[in-house]
Amino acid sequence: MDRLQDSRVKIGEERVSLVQPTLARLLAAALAISVFLVGFDIIYGRFFYRDIDDILRGIQIRQFLDYGGWYDLTIRGIDMPGPYVSPWSRLIDLPYVAIARVLQLALAPEDAIAWAFRLWQPVLLLAFCLLWIGSVLNLSRPRVEIEPLHIVAAFALMPLTLWEFTPGRIDHHNVQIVMLMVAVYGISCWSYSGGLIAGLGVVLSFLVGLELAPVLAVLLLGPCLAFVFGVKGGRRLLAGLATSAIVVSLLAGLIFLGPHRMMATECDAFSAPYISALLGFSVVILPAALFLGRAGRWARLIYLAVAAMLLIGALALVFPSCLAGPYAFIEPMVRSLWLDRVQQERSVLDFYREGEFIKVACIAGLAVVALAVLPSMRRQMRAAHAPFVIVFATGVALLLLTLIQTRFMRFPAALVLLVLPTVWSGVKERWPGARTALVASAGGCLVCVVSLWLAVPQRKPVLELLDYMTVDLCTNIDPSPLRGLPPGRIVAPSSLGLFLLDRLPPGMTINSISFHRAAPGMRAMFDVFLSMDSETRKRAAAPFDYLAVCRYDVAPYIENDTLFARLMRGGEWPGLTLIHDGPPGSPRFFRIDHARFE
């Protein structure tokens, strides 16, 4: 009997072995469906997720290879005025840089980088598959036997997650998914060593990005509640989690931030506020795990509640600027003209408006699974199977966040579908309420999806003036007309600025890109190109020497009264001397004569 029956899986005592024969079959099933979906993404040619994040990450990696500076995250070529300092972690850059350095021994530098950008994602995908299988084995046993068919069904329902592992996808979300699975696998082990693993995943997830902070808070709260209610093994896991969080926070800070940034307050990136929060959490938890094991439930609860309130209060007093969130510094005008128009900042209703049915279908499928497992959840709670409950609660939190803000859509499938084998077995073996829950959840979700589809009007794809500023429509970018000109600053729409960035001659800079830390540059861009007040335009254009805009075949309904609309149609403007003009789809370059500029 080779179904890992001999694997040691007692909760709180031992872990599932990852070397049993069944693992090979499960891993083969996971990789087969993953490669199929990723291959479909590549063959389709559009690349579901690839976006401007990949472009800027590529620029950051290339500049590190060219200039070095491990702790210097300044992106050269941007002057808003003022430098653009990236909030992104070198942890993501490191494997690409290492692979490129090795490949440069045999390939040209650009070829080495191009291959590095394609080779790392399969490694991450393999890590994800192994962690997912290890987690589902830990969470499902001893009652549910995991079959390859379970794996195929689960992975077939998570294209929004697996497409993050498409070769060329060098943004940080695939690593975030892997780090989340590291944390989940650690929780599923429900042991001291599992706590160490979970702490590693949590801290490195914070280091990579802050998007998952609310979800990681749920994941950390779960073991605390298990400890309060005296769940067997909870104290040991909590001790490992706290120990790991202390060590990894300090080491990761020193390695990837340096002492200066560890002490800095950057509300949108891993820095002093978040390091302090993790260290504070650990300092609160570790004594409880070590010394309150024999205390009563109320004593443990009171200690943790009081300590948590004191910690939150202290963090609020020391880092008050972060209470407004990571985007507080973005001016209201930039927020309304740019950030509020970005789809990932909107609710799932935007998928209905845009007619993106595949996303709606994937999210609805997760909702069916989450609802269908509820009868089994009561059984898990009665059995004090804390890892199952914690991971499920975290997955539900991710699913709810996705409904509110679609930036989370790539994450919930990885966690919610860990309970799919339990749902499957419950239906197959006729557990009480299992079939009724599945039918009711499927019917309810179908009614909800169809009702919203009928109620939410779909938008026709009509380009507005702002879309021409932020969407990549300039396909033929040739910066050669800038060569030979005196060095200077260029004001350009953020979409064009990003694609000019790594093509600029030495000494030339652009003012903005479509990222939140470039908000000051975007403010200048909007004032120059869209303002109807000449004094506002002059003031915004004062720091710049040149102006660039892409020439488009503009829709006739777009009014021609702004500087941007007139120039992109091929027109002129007082105080702008044409340097180079091109056909539609290519940039126009101008020199700014501030004495005559209106």
User: DSSP label at 256?
Assistant: I
pLDDT at 44: 62
The mean per-residue pLDDT over the stretch 464-487 comes to 82
Tokens of 212: 């998952």
Structure tokens at 19: 């070397």
Question: Which of 32-41, 268-277, 286-295, 451-460 has the highest mean predicted lDDT (pLDDT)?
Answer: 268-277
Q: Which residue has the higher pLDDT, 277 or 583?
A: 277
Regarding predicted confidence, which is higher, 555 or 269? 269
Average pLDDT of the chain to the nearest whole number: 89
Residue 277: pLDDT over 80 = yes
Helices marked H in 232-296 — which ranges? Answer: 234-252, 258-263, 272-291
Residue 14's pLDDT band (cuts 50, 70, 90): very low
Position 545: which residue type? Answer: D
Query: Is the model's pLDDT at 74 over the cut of 90?
Result: yes
Q: What is the pLDDT of residue 97?
A: 96
CA dist 350 to 365, 407, 462, Å?
Answer: 18, 12, 15
Asked if 9 and 16 touch (Cβ cutoff 8 Å), the reply is: yes
C-alpha dihedral sign at 571, 488, 79, 55 = positive
Q: What distance, in Å, lies between the first and last C-alpha atoms of the chain?
A: 82
Burial of 442 (0-12, 13-18, 19+ CB in 10 A): middle
Cβ-based neighbour number of residue 218 at 10 Å: 17
Average pLDDT, integer, range 265-278: 95
Q: What would you report as the CA-atom Rg of the chain, rounded to the nearest whole angstrom?
A: 26
CA distance 438 to 433: 9
- What is the percent of the chain where pLDDT is above 90? 65
**Bridge pairing between strands 509-510 and 489-491:** parallel
Q: At what angle do helices 386-404 and 374-382 cross, to 10 degrees?
A: 140
Query: Phi and psi at residue 506, in whole multiples of 5°?
Result: -55, 135
For 281, other C-beta atoms within 10 Å of its C-beta total 23
- Provide the pLDDT for residue 430: 80
Show the tokens assigned to 211.
């998007």
What is the structure's pLDDT at 302? Answer: 94
Two structure tokens written together for 368: 């069916």
103 contact partners, CB below 8 Å, separation of at least 6: 111, 112, 115, 116
Amino acid (1-letter code) at residue 326 = P
Under the banding of pLDDT at 50, 70 and 90, the label for residue 99 is very high
Least confident of 198-212, 375-389, 402-416, 529-543: 375-389
Per-residue pLDDT at 20? 44
pLDDT value of residue 39: 86
**Alpha carbon distance 165, 150 (integer Å):** 21
Judge whether residue 2 has pLDDT over 70: no
Please state, in angstroms and rounded to a whole number, the distance separating the CA atoms of residues 564 and 529.
5
User: Residue 246 has what pLDDT?
Assistant: 96
> Which pLDDT does position 162 carry in this prediction?
94
The structure tokens listed for 245 are 């969080």
CB-CB contact of 87 with 266 (8 Å): yes
Confidence band, pLDDT 50/70/90 cuts, at residue 366: very high
User: Would you state the pLDDT for residue 45?
Assistant: 59
* Beta carbons of 203 and 245 less than 8 angstroms apart: yes
Please provide the DSSP assignment of 502-534 as one string: TTPPTT-EE---SSGGGHHHHHHHHHHHH-S-H
Mean pLDDT of 221-235: 92
Question: For the segment 280-332, what is each residue's pLDDT rounded down to a tens digit?
Answer: 999 999 999 888 888 889 999 999 999 999 999 999 999 999 998 888 889 99
**Longest CA span, the chain:** 86
User: What does the chain come to in residues?
Assistant: 598
pLDDT band per the 50, 70, 90 thresholds, residue 46 = low
Least confident range from 95-109, 135-149, 457-471: namely 457-471
Written in H, E and C, the secondary structure of 32-71 is HHHHHHHHHHHHHCCCCCCCHHHHHHHHHHHHHHHHCCCC
| pLDDT tens digits for range 242-258 | 999 999 999 999 999 99
Q: What is the mean pLDDT of residues 464-473?
A: 77
Given the DSSP bridges, would you call strands 576-580 and 587-592 parallel, antiparallel or unpaired?
antiparallel
